[in-house]
Amino acid sequence: MTLAELYKTLGCFLSIFLLSACTSIPEGIEPVDGFELPRYLGKWYEIARFDHSFERGLEQVSADYSLRDDGGVKVLNRGFNAQSQEWDEAEGKAYFVQNSDVGHLKVSFFGPFYASYVIFLLDKENYNYAVITGPDRDYLWILARTPKLSPEVQEHILQQARIAGFATDKLIWVKH
């Protein structure tokens, strides 16, 4: 199954079971404020993630964000499937849920169904790393502008994620 097909399958699941909570924020999580979309655009490397079927087995995962003509954000996720020896990618779109200076977007890879994209930790000085969750604590991604983080930054991120209630021992560290 391709990444696009898996995202579509996830969308069907979310639309049936989580429709009312798809763009919500987990209790106790605050999206970053003072968010600047132009600084966020570009390529990000997935450093770590929680396991989900739509990314299972993927290495060298990246996300590329660019502006859409309609004012939204084009999302291009790409990863290498080591088992099939093929690149897999999925294109989506994202829009701010409320204000464009708050790191809370809704993202869709499948038709009209959206899921939360909540940036709750961000290197606001340089936009070198970001930590994202979904509508609940079953989703966690650590992104960076480079394929590796310094040990100090990585430990800071893990500490903040643990404080926020995430089971960081469940993270999968992505091979690049």
Cα-Cα-Cα-Cα dihedral sign, residues 7, 65, 32, 100: negative
**How far apart (Å, rounded) are the C-alpha atoms in residues 176 and 162?**
24
User: For the chain, which domains are there?
Assistant: 3-173 (2.40.128.20)
The pLDDT-based confidence of 23 (bands split at 50, 70, 90) is confident
The answer on pLDDT for 131 being more than 70 is: yes
**How far apart (Å, rounded) are the C-alpha atoms in residues 149 and 160?**
15
The answer on pLDDT for 80 being more than 60 is: yes
pLDDT at 14: 42
The pLDDT-based confidence of 3 (bands split at 50, 70, 90) is low
**Mean pLDDT, rounded, of the chain:** 91
